[in-house]
Amino acid sequence: MISKIGIIGNGVAATTAIREIRSKDSKVRIDVFTDERHPYYPRPSLIDLVANRRTIKETIRYDLDWYEKNNVNLRLSTPVFQIDTETKTVISTSKDYAGYDSLLLAVGCRPFVPPFEGLHKNNVHVIRTLDDALDIRDAVKGAGREIVVGGGILGIELAAAMKEVGGEPIVVSNDNRLLPMQLDDQGSTVLTKHLEKKGISVLFGFECRSISGDDDAEGIVSAQNDSISGDLVVIATGVRSNTIIAKNSGIKYNKAINVDEHMQTSTKGIFAAGDCMEYNGQWHGIIPWATSTARIAAQNMLDFGSSKFKGITPSNQLQVAGIDLTSIGIIHPDSPDYETLVSVDLDNGKYFKAVLKDNILVGSISLGSRKVAMKLRSLIMKGEDIADIKQSLFDE
């Protein structure tokens, strides 16, 4: 009989687990620990906060009343360091919490920051939390030029938000294209042109090594000693799962915390969900992964063995700086057996690519049209011969 559940973390995985638990059990005690000072907010809203499209109040999805209504004991600003798995005690900065029946690790990720020199300088930021977004929003007000290091989705979205509030952002990447996971070279060229039209500069092949300036950041310097000046530097070069609690508590982890199909870690009664865990070598840092793993974890925490995780099909439908981008299936074919059809419209920020094998659509990229994206997606799902409609494949 489960009467006491502990949850470490308070992001989308944790709150999804709370909702799942409460939909099945109104009585079990739930204690939540988070190192943040705010109650739950969705991280995608942080971009809106930087762009001044939302206030802090509008960013917070569940206020303290929500926790009270759901009978959840929320401990804000309470980092957890370790779990004593023998005595079932959570060791945190506040009074220790002992005797859980079931515990969920939903501790997410932290930004990955390469070891650049000068990271300690003023006006060098990362973006993960609401406080990070507030700091960046305040810093953009006084900056002449903002440098975003990283050409992934987060870096591009952040630069677009900075532009909206009057900034002069430049996105700097060590790669030769934007969004290497979702785009090919031509698609990246179309997106780059679209960003430049919006007043967002993009620089490729820049290997950032250090932050220049005395106390305050004044720019970045590359491995080849090239420099870019700017008064605000945001590093958006990826994330790493938080595994420190697992490490300190003898729970197995690789790049993320290892779980089985029930979302149970190597320690009985301790589960993990969201960005902090990996299952069968799979890991995704996206919300659908966090919510689906959290539901499975919650069900098994209440009734072990009641559900099994079957993986997810990651959604690759994105909004990048106001344009729709969808990439599905094989987008980088590596054999002559594939046929590739492409349509490029640089002026209107549109790019379509279809990859076919034996006249069957097996992959596509669609930039700038949701209609075409949906059409291509449906044709991929059907897996039918499309020889007759090849000519009109990209018609809207």
Ligand X SMILES: Cc1cc2nc3c(=O)[nH]c(=O)nc-3n(C[C@H](O)[C@H](O)[C@H](O)COP(=O)(O)OP(=O)(O)OC[C@H]3O[C@@H](n4cnc5c(N)ncnc54)[C@H](O)[C@@H]3O)c2cc1C
Q: List interacting residues with ligand X (CB under 6 A).
A: 8-14, 33-36, 43-44, 46-47, 79-80, 106-109, 127-128, 154, 242, 245, 274-276, 285-287, 290
Q: Which is nearer to ligand X, 111 or 213 (CB)?
A: 111
Q: Which is nearer to ligand X, 45 or 229 (CB)?
A: 45
User: Beta partners for 90?
Assistant: 83, 97
Burial class from Cβ neighbours inside 10 Å (0-12, 13-18, 19+) for residue 57 reads exposed
Cβ atoms 355, 330 nearer than 8 A: yes
Amino acid identity, residue 352? Answer: F
* Cβ 333 to ligand X shortest distance, Å: 27
* Cβ 8 to ligand X shortest distance, Å: 5
* Cβ 294 to ligand X shortest distance, Å: 7
Q: Which is nearer to ligand X, 149 or 393 (CB)?
A: 149
| Helix (H) / strand (E) containing 378 | helix 370-382
Q: Which is nearer to ligand X, 127 or 356 (CB)?
A: 127
Amino acid identity, residue 211? Answer: I
User: Beta partners for 363?
Assistant: 329, 355
Q: Distance (Å, rounded) from C-alpha 328 to C-alpha 367? A: 12
Q: Which is nearer to ligand X, 219 or 285 (CB)?
A: 285
The structure tokens listed for 118 are 């000068």
Residue showing tokens 């990246």: 188
Closest CA to 155 of 316, 320, 365, 324: 320
Q: Which is nearer to ligand X, 39 or 213 (CB)?
A: 39
- In sequence order, what are the residues at sequence separation of 6 or more whose Cβ sits closer than 8 angstroms to the Cβ of residue 231? 123, 142, 143, 144, 145, 146, 216, 217, 218
